[in-house]
Chains A and B, each alone.
Chain A
Amino acid sequence: MSVLLDGKEGMEYMAMGNEAIARGALEAGVKVASGYPGTPSSEIIERLADVAKEADIYVEWSVNEKVAAEVAAAASFAELRSLASMKQVGVNVASDFLLHLAISGTRGGMVLVTCEDPAAHSSTNEGDSRGYAKMMEFPLLEPGDFQEAKDMTKWAFELSEEIRNLVMLRSVTRMSHASGNVTFGRLPKVEAQAHYHFSGSMLDPDKGPVMSYGFKHAQQQQKLKKAAEIFEDSPFNTYQGPEKPELLIITCSVGNLYCKEAINLLGLEDRVGLLKLGTTWPLPPRLLKKHLSMTGEILIVEEILPFMEENVKVLAAEMAQEIGIKKFYGKHSGQIPSIGELSPDIVIQALVDLLDVGYETVPKEYAEKAGAAAFARAPNRQLTFCPGCPHRASFWSIHNALELDGRQGFVCGDIGCYGMAVLPTGFSTTKTGHAMGSGAGVASGFAKLRQFGMDQPVMAVCGDSTFFHAIVPALVNAVHHKSSFTLVVLDNSGTAMTGFQSHPGLTVNAMKDESPALDIAEICRSMGAKVEVRDPFDLKETQEALNDLMEYQEGAKVLVLKQPCALSPEKKAEKKYNMRVDQEICLGEDCGCNKLCTRIFRCPGLIWDMEKKAARIDEVICAGCGVCADICPSGAIVREEA
């Protein structure tokens, strides 16, 4: 039993932001939740899936974010409450549908949760998706602490039902993945009855067909106006500070926590006012007017883009006659960076500059010492694939096949652990990297450039989850247009990077129910691609298959490399082989090898023995995959059945 379902009303619980969001959804009586995994969002669906059976809700890992939004929308159309969850880049995938949904409107409360990754800790970019709320004209909420993460989620469903439209709730890494005290509310008993009504007129939000039509635009804007009206009195917009502050800070999301800490540390409670907005689009004009009138100087603190900053400035310009000309500080003036995460230090520095108070954020000497201490005992190692990772083996073969081919071939990549193949750990093999599935699309384009003299062979890589998510249309395109490239599907049996969530290639779904698994190789064959399947740990076979496909086969070709992730639950902690290096045979720095294993192959399980001038296995780190035995030119690495 999970505390999320077990926790009684009034119970105080130290919840991770994503758990708070999940509990909020349960308190709202959510019935359907769907999503596509992506850090920092994944735990929302995972936690809901954990309690799905008991709470009688339906939860799925959808094939991609667009489908996740569509699945959740269907529940809303049938008058259930539903939630779709994804990370910021996923919102782009869902956006096509969201644009239509925003105009068609919803029925049962529907909340789109986007968990974003300022500083791109676990992403290829830190795109700020709040702009979608403005562009597509639906309301945006941003919780400012953990309690709000829960309460605001619950309220978002009510708001959605009130305005009959989608509500977007945005979290960030330090909200989703940090933890704080949350007091639970009541879990309702909801008897769900789903039915889809469509007999009314097109404009009837309750009984008509739910469709996106241009003529509903006015209706849609009315909904947004209504939301702004509701936001005027929202308890999620709070002010603390003097009546006439020298400086007013307007902030949202985790900026709220940093600002509170900064004001407190600098002892500025009497000089600085803090307006924390939870409803960041549309902005409630009267509330803003009241607070902007308090002072002449305003600092806007938010992460990444100046979304709120620019919207506040528009309101301030409209109200200028009444409230006077204001001086704004923030991203445009340079006090607040528009890339990366914020921190209390950044806010402190801005306040020190603006208010002329003395404060040294972190003494320089201390920062240097702390920095040195942090790295003193860490092994000197670049970003690398895990020991035993199938990707290292796969890219070894891909790299060698391309070099042997000798026509300056290259790989188009996308997003996943294998994105690291641009680095030495993947032998610097990938040469383009964009959205999920883009490797195949871009490769399909490159391969059509033969008529302009391009004769470099082109490959694309994707993961198994990515295959279902976004590769299929690109591959169809390639087959149909006779685009000649090789797609390598790095099938490690799970959405490994985000924590082994299920996908359509596996036999269980998010709720641990048995599900039919779709066979990637068969799908590709049925499209008309030439398909081979290999075990990437068999380096010779893999490389030969690649060279063969590149050299002799025309059209779209697919090599499925099947080997579970080294960290997969089925493999974890189990060594297939016990490995050792025969240091007598090892060529080490001599010609004929020159430390191939530790200089180029670089599995962290292999280390250089300075004294013996030979390689050695680090038994603690080695995962026992046995692959390195096949890269050693002298046969010094010995593999014994464990």
Chain B
Amino acid sequence: MLHACDLEEGRCYAYCPRTPTDLEQLRQALYDPKDLTPELGPFKGLYVTRAADESTRSSAQHGGTVTALVKLALEEGLLDTAVLTEESERFLPQGVSVSDPLGVVRASKSKFVTSPNVAAFNEAAKGGFEKIGVVATPCQALALAKMRLKPEPAKDNHIDKLSLVVGLFCGWALSWRDLARLLKGKADEDSIVGMDIPPSKYECMEVYTTNGTITIPLEEVLPSVKEGCQYCFDMTAEFSDLSVGSARVPEGWDAAKGWNQVIVRSRAGQELLDLARSKGVLEFRDLPEGNLEKLKTASMNKKKFCVAALVKKSGSSENLLYLDPQDPVLSRFIN
């Protein structure tokens, strides 16, 4: 906070993803209760997809599904702008509002540092856009969901302009400064073209450079993870219209890198995915056997670690700080 604020509970407090949150109330209010699952939140279906356009894929993180969907939504006029994440100097990400469908690809690729995208959404809304889409990490999607319940007087709440949330799967994000420190001496900033975190069994982070791939052992990376990520229960961005992550395919990680897994959660999400299919913007492949189960296990593991971290921090299993110990999903992890 730049300056002390003496309002007890203003908007920051109401919308912050780490202030007390009734998850069940959000799930019930924002989604079809029939779709709610404990493991993956609202769930209408799981798909494996990639952008049909080769050049979109080659500049994307994985299969380019996110880029393709956002571009489509802008082209079709479903959105008049999209809040995406670009990188400025030294890996410092920033939220940008992109209205030109051709500009979407410039913001492709994952930046493993949290970005002020909710602020960028507010700026876009103040800037006169009426149908705004946001590509969001799970915590950003949660903040936007909290805004949708409008706990505050309407003044200055622009949430009605939010038309689409594309969530990203997320294990954790890094502190910006620590990432720079981590890479110092390992790779020249200008030579880095991307990064990724392969499935957990590889226990490393990969840094792609113009001179090849560098792998950094996970144990070296983990101290740089933002503390707040420890207390995050959400791996699949449950409070979005559809969520996108990397795929798992039987051919292994190298092949999987070119695909995405998509969870559809809402009607708006389903309609966009269907549109992408009918327009040929996305390619689909069959869901490999066992993928849904693996995803559920991974998602539940994050919830389990989150509850354990919160109990440790509060010192009591009755107290999950910002979360409700009676929550129907999280309460399973309290012994």
> Which residues from chain A sit less than 8 Å from chain B, CB to CB?
399-400, 403-404, 407, 427, 552, 587, 590-592, 594, 596, 599-600
CA distance A590 to B157 in the complex (A): 12
Asked whether B11 lies within 8 Å of A592 as measured between CB atoms, the reply is: yes
Known A-B contacts A591-B11, A592-B11, A594-B10; A427 and B156 likewise in contact (beta carbons under 8 Å): no
Judge whether B155 and A400 touch: CB under 8 Å: no
Q: Roughly how many angstroms separate A407 CA and B1 CA in the complex, as a whole number? A: 13
Give the shortest distance, in Å, between B40 (CB) and chain A (any CB).
Answer: 34
Q: Is there a chain A Cβ closer than 8 Å to B7's Cβ?
A: yes
Which of B3, B10, B152 has most chain A Cβ within 10 Å? B3
Q: Which residue of B lies closest to A402 (CB)?
A: B2
Q: Which residue of A lies closest to B12 (CB)?
A: A591
State A298–B291 Cα separation when bound (angstroms).
99
Whether A427 contacts B3 in the complex (CB less than 8 A), given A591-B11, A592-B11, A594-B10, comes out as yes
Task: Report the minimum CB–CB distance from B119 to chain A (whole Å).
Answer: 12
Tell whether B289 is near chain A: CB-to-CB under 8 Å.
no
B220 at the interface (CB under 8 A from A): no
The reply to whether A596 and B3 form a contact with Cβ atoms under 8 Å apart is yes
Closest CB in chain A relative to B131 CB, distance in Å: 23
Q: Chain A nearest CB: distance from B310 CB in Å?
A: 23
Determine if B2 and A594 form an interchain contact, defined as CB atoms under 8 angstroms apart: no
Question: With an 8 A cutoff between CB atoms, is B102 at the interface?
Answer: no
Which listed residue, A403, A407, A590, touches B2 by the CB 8 Å rule? A403
A-B contacts, CB under 8 A, total = 29
B2 touches A591 (CB 8 A): no
Which residues of chain B come closer than 8 Å to A600, judged between CB atoms? 3-4
As a 0/1 sequence over residues 1 to 40 of chain B, the CB contacts with chain A under 8 angstroms (1 = contact) are 1111111001100000000000000000000000000000
Residues of chain A within 8 A of B11, CB atoms compared? 591-592
Q: Is A591 a contact partner of B10 (Cβ separation < 8 A)?
A: yes
Residues of B within 8 A of A404 (CB): 2
> Are B156 and A591 in contact, with the CB atoms below 8 A?
yes
Give the CA-CA distance A242 to B10 in the complex, in Å. 76
Residue of A403, A427, A552, A592 touching B1 (CB-CB under 8 A) = A403
Chosen A-B contacts, 19 in total, with CB atoms closer than 8 Å, are A399-B3, A400-B2, A403-B2, A404-B2, A407-B177, A427-B3, A552-B90, A587-B156, A591-B7, A591-B11, A591-B156, A592-B11, A592-B156, A594-B5, A594-B6, A594-B7, A594-B10, A599-B6, A600-B4
Tally of chain B residues near chain A (CB < 8 A): 14
Q: How would residues 97 to 139 of chain B score, 1 for a CB under 8 Å from any chain A CB and 0 otherwise?
A: 0000000000000000000000000000000000000000000
Which residue of A has the minimal Cβ distance to B2?
Answer: A403
Give bound CA distance, A404 to B11, whole Å: 20
Q: Which B residues are closer than 8 A to A by beta carbons?
A: 1-7, 10-11, 90, 152, 155-156, 177
Shortest Cβ gap from A157 to chain B (Å): 57
The CA of A590 and the CA of B154, in the complex, are separated in Å by 12
Alpha-carbon gap, A404 to B3, bound state (A): 11
Q: What residues of chain B lie closer than 8 Å to A591, measured between beta carbons?
A: 7, 10-11, 152, 156
Please name the residue on chain A nearest to B92 by beta carbon: A551
- Give Cα distance in the complex from A600 to B4, angstroms: 8
CA distance A407 to B152 in the complex (A): 32
The 9 A-B pairs at the shortest CB distance, nearest first, are namely A591-B10, A600-B3, A591-B11, A403-B2, A594-B7, A592-B156, A400-B2, A591-B7, A594-B5
Known: A590-B155, A592-B156. 7 other contacts (CB 8 A): A427-B3, A590-B156, A591-B10, A591-B156, A594-B5, A594-B6, A600-B3
A592 to B156, CA, bound (A): 8
B94 to chain A, nearest CB (A): 13
Residues of B within 8 A of A599 (CB): 6
A457 to chain B, nearest CB (A): 11
Bound: A227/B270 CA distance, A? 102
Most chain A CB inside 10 Å of its own CB: which residue of B2, B7, B10, B156: B2
A455 to chain B, nearest CB (A): 9
Separation of A404 and B5 alpha carbons in the complex (Å): 16
Q: How far is the CB of A119 from chain B (nearest CB, A)?
A: 32
Query: Which residues of the partner chain A approach B1 to less than 8 Å between Cβ atoms?
Result: 403
Minimal Cβ-Cβ distance residue in B for A404: B2
Task: Give CA–CA (A552, B181) in the complex, Å.
Answer: 12
What is the CA–CA distance of A208 and B184 in the complex, to the nearest angstrom? Answer: 64
Q: Please measure, in the bound complex, the distance between the C-alpha atom of A399 and the C-alpha atom of B10, giving whole angstroms.
A: 23
Which residues of the partner chain A approach B177 to less than 8 Å between Cβ atoms? 407
Chain B nearest Cβ from A265, distance in angstroms:
51
B6: A residues at CB distance < 8 A: 594, 599
Which residue of A is nearest B6, CB measured?
A594
A552 to B5, CA, bound (A): 30
Cα distance A599–B6 in the bound complex, in angstroms = 10
Complex CA–CA separation, A600 to B5 (angstroms): 9
Most chain B CB within 10 A, of A552, A591, A592, is at A591
Give A399 to B4 CA distance when docked, in angstroms. 12
Residue from A404, A427, A587, A590 whose CB has the most chain B CB atoms within 10 Å = A590
**Min C-beta distance of A190 to chain B, whole Å:** 61
| Distance A594 CA – B90 CA, assembled complex (angstroms) | 34
CA distance A394 to B304 in the complex (A): 48
Residues of A close to B90: CB separation below 8 A: 552
Considering the chains assembled together, what is the distance between the CA atoms of A552 and B189 in angstroms?
Answer: 13
Which chain A residues border B152 with CB–CB below 8 Å?
Answer: 591
Compute how far the CA of A407 lies from the CA of B156 in the bound complex, rounded to whole angstroms: 31
Q: CB-CB < 8 A to A594: which residues of B? A: 5-7, 10
The distance in angstroms between the C-alpha atoms of A400 and B1, with both chains bound, is: 9
Bound Cα distance A437, B29 (Å): 61
A599 closest partner in B (C-beta): B6
Chain A residues within an 8 Å CB radius of B5: 594
Nearest chain A residue, comparing its CB with the CB of B14: A591
| Interchain CA distance A399-B156 in the complex, whole Å | 27
Report how far A596 CA is from B7 CA in the complex, Å. 12
A169–B74 Cα distance when bound, in Å, is: 82
The complex places the Cα of A594 from the Cα of B8 at a distance, in Å, of: 11
Distance, CA A587 to CA B177, complexed state (A): 35
Whole-angstrom distance between the alpha carbons of A621 and B152 in the complex? Answer: 37
CB neighbours of A587 from chain B (8 A): 156
The CA of A400 and the CA of B177, in the complex, are separated in Å by: 18
The residues of A that contact B4 with a CB separation of less than 8 Å are 600
CB closest chain-B residue, reference A596: B3
Q: Which residues of A contact B3 (CB under 8 A)?
A: 399, 403, 427, 596, 600
CA distance in complex: A399, B6 (Å) = 18
Q: How far is the CB of B156 from chain A (nearest CB, A)?
A: 5
B171 to chain A, nearest CB (A): 23
User: Smallest Cβ distance from A84 to chain B, in angstroms?
Assistant: 46
C-alpha gap A357/B66 in the complex (Å):
94
Output the least CB separation between B109 and chain A (Å).
23
Expressed in whole angstroms, the Cα–Cα distance for A587 and B155 within the complex equals: 10
A43 to B90, CA, bound (A): 54
Name the residue on A nearest B11 (C-beta).
A591
**Nearest CB in chain A to that of B13: its residue:** A591
List of B residues within 8 angstroms of A399 by Cβ: 2-3
Nearest residue, chain B, Cβ from A594:
B7
Closest chain A residue to B3, Cβ basis: A600
How many Å lie between the Cα of A592 and that of B6 in the bound state? 12
State in angstroms the CA–CA spacing of A600 and B7 once bound together: 13
Bound Cα distance from A596 to B5, whole angstroms: 9
A427 to B156, CA, bound (A): 27
What CA separation (Å) do A638 and B6 show in the bound complex? Answer: 26
CA distance A206 to B90 in the complex (A): 69
| B-side contacts of A592, CB under 8 Å | 10-11, 156
- A587 to B126 alpha-carbon distance, docked (Å): 15
B284 CB to closest chain A CB (Å) equals 43
Distance in Å from the Cβ of A452 to the closest Cβ of chain B? Answer: 18
Q: What separation, in Å, do the CA atoms of A403 and B3 have in the docked complex? A: 9
Name A405's closest neighbour in chain B (CB-CB).
B177
- Give the nearest-CB partner of A591 in chain B: B10
CA distance A599 to B3 in the complex (A): 10
Give A337 Cβ to nearest chain B Cβ, in Å. 38
User: From residue B123, how far is it (CB to closest CB) to chain A in Å?
Assistant: 12
A599 CA / B10 CA spacing, docked (Å): 16
- Which residues of chain A are near B10, meaning CB under 8 Å? 591-592, 594
Most B-side CB within 10 Å, residue of A403, A404, A594, A596: A594
